[in-house]
Amino acid sequence: MKLLIDIGNSRVKWARSEPGRYTFGGAFATDASSLAGACESQMAELPRPEAVLVSNVAGARMGRLVADWASARWAVPVRFLCSEASAMGVVNAYPDPARLGVDRWLGLIGAWRMHRDACCIVSAGTALTIDLLDGEGRHRGGVIGPGLSLMRTALTSLEALAGEVESGNDFFCNRTAPALSSGILYSAVGLIRESLGRAARLLATEPVVLLTGGDAAMLRPYIEGPVQLVPHLVLEGLHAVAERSP
């Protein structure tokens, strides 16, 4: 068994990787003050893993806290994944491959493992990232926007909008709170729709849409056409790497 850990900006998610399958274990907040305690609470009873594979986009301190805990608990190797020029059939579009976020890279690997076809990966988390993968496994680049919570935080910092949180059923609203929610939601929806349209024109085919991240379920009703919800796409990618690793 290998332990997979995905350290995101808001949440840490983990899973057990075994030959042919992985099992989601749980999630907790990415909070330095409680990180070691949360690891201990959720993972201490696991059997000793052969190795720990980590995706980390939350900064060096968070990575160090997780690695220190795992090393102290089991004295096993802790491997931090990095984006590469190519791996497992996927070719990175970035001139400097390491500049692509490792979560996006692992999402591409996970998507290719699942479909082996053109994919548009929409990750709705702290940031809203959309990456395009063609039918030959080539990453064609991506686009990054603010996620729903990040937009809300930015807008509610304005004095006139402070504290306004209320959803509505209409696009045009007659009160500030639902108007704010509508604007945030459809800003994200608009970016997704534009990206999918451009992706189809670029590839001359409709790519499979994979939707992942904490806000995936909220956005799903607003995306037209077939969409596959993949709750833990980064863990899918980590599992693919773990199966190829000694």
Residue 6 assigned to a binding site: yes
Identify the burial level of 216 via C-beta atoms within 10 angstroms of its C-beta, where 0-12 means exposed, 13-18 middle and 19 or more buried. buried
E strand or H helix at 13: strand 11-18
Write down the catalytic residue from 103, 131, 134, 215: 103
Task: Report in angstroms the alpha-carbon separations of 202 from 58, 120, 149.
Answer: 33, 12, 30
Residue 20 assigned to a binding site: no
Distance, in Å, from the CA atom of 205 to the CA atom of 43, rounded to the nearest integer, reads 43
- DSSP character for 190? H
Residue ranges of alpha helices (H) inside 35-90 are 35-43, 60-74
Residue with tokens 């935080």: 153
For residues 176 and 182, the answer to whether their CB atoms sit within 8 Å is no
E strand or H helix at 131: strand 127-133
Residue 102 assigned to a binding site: yes
Residue 56 assigned to a binding site: no
Residue 241 assigned to a binding site: no
Task: Look up 103 and say whether it is catalytic.
Answer: yes
Distance, in Å, from the CA atom of 154 to the CA atom of 151, rounded to the nearest integer, reads 5
Distance, in Å, from the CA atom of 27 to the CA atom of 39, rounded to the nearest integer, reads 10
Residue 13 assigned to a binding site: yes
Residue 7 assigned to a binding site: yes
Residue 12 assigned to a binding site: yes
Other CB atoms within a 10 A radius of the CB of residue 95 amount to 7
Residue 8 assigned to a binding site: yes
Sign of the four-CA dihedral 172, 176, 177, 181: positive
Q: Which residues are annotated as a binding site?
A: 6-13, 94, 101-104, 126, 176
Q: Which residues are annotated as a binding site for ATP?
A: 6-13, 126
Task: Supply the residues annotated as catalytic.
Answer: 103
